[in-house]
Homo-oligomer: A and B are copies of this chain.
Amino acid sequence: MTATSTRQRLLDAALVVVAREGIAGTSARVIAAEADVNQALVFYHHGSVDELLATASRDVSARRAARYTDALQDITSFTALTAVARRLHDEEQGSVDRLVLTQLLAGARTRPLIAAALRANMALLVAPVEATLARLVAGTALEEVLPVPELARTVAAGFLGLELLDGVVTDIEAAPFPALEAIAGVVDLALQAGTIETAVLRRRLRRANAEVASDAEPG
């Protein structure tokens, strides 16, 4: 086994440093120290700190997307979807990958290279969620009222929100999942033919949707 290349050591170290020091505390010097290499090599191998972070971000998100795709492929109910969300969240507790994303999102607001990397990465992350949701609503009354691509982004964003707050507002840690699972239970029930007649649900959903639309443009 050859020793890990300096280039790769810097990529790994960058993620560790971002997770530990935050985006504001991440510098070429600190990353190099973490990788135990000379500071100038950050610029030799990666051009700039932001390019290094962008590359590292692409790597970590590819790993994350693969993990999500794998975990979601057998999902057949909203209840199961929330259970997977809980499991993924638990598995990522304290992991480097988890802390990095929120730090990079904050950094992306002012650093174009990081923003570009995250945009590409978010698409990877949303794809498996979208595929799963499309499978879940196919053939149900929800199919014609739920905008699946948008819902997938909403779900991914909400999940991110939980990860973002976890550890800062510490009392939120395990709390979200029972709540989400209870709601998923209601939705799953609503989808079961026999509990609500599909035709009735469809009609009512359409009516409710129309009301929302008219509420949104008052007077």
How many chain A residues sit at the interface, stated as a range, is 35 or more
Residue of B99, B158, B189 near A190 (CB, 8 A) is: B189
- Of the listed residues A23, A109, A118, the one surrounded by the most CB atoms of chain B closer than 10 A to its CB is A109
Per assembly, the copies of the chain total 2
Dominant secondary structure of chain A at its interface with chain B: helix
Chain A interface residues (CB < 8 Å from chain B): 21-25, 79-80, 82-83, 86, 99, 102-103, 105-111, 115, 118-119, 122, 142, 145-147, 149-151, 153-154, 157-162, 164-165, 167-172, 175-176, 178-183, 185-190, 195-196, 200-201, 204-205, 208-209, 211-212, 215-216
Closest 6 pairs (CB-CB, A-B): A161-B161, A106-B106, A158-B158, A150-B175, A151-B179, A185-B208
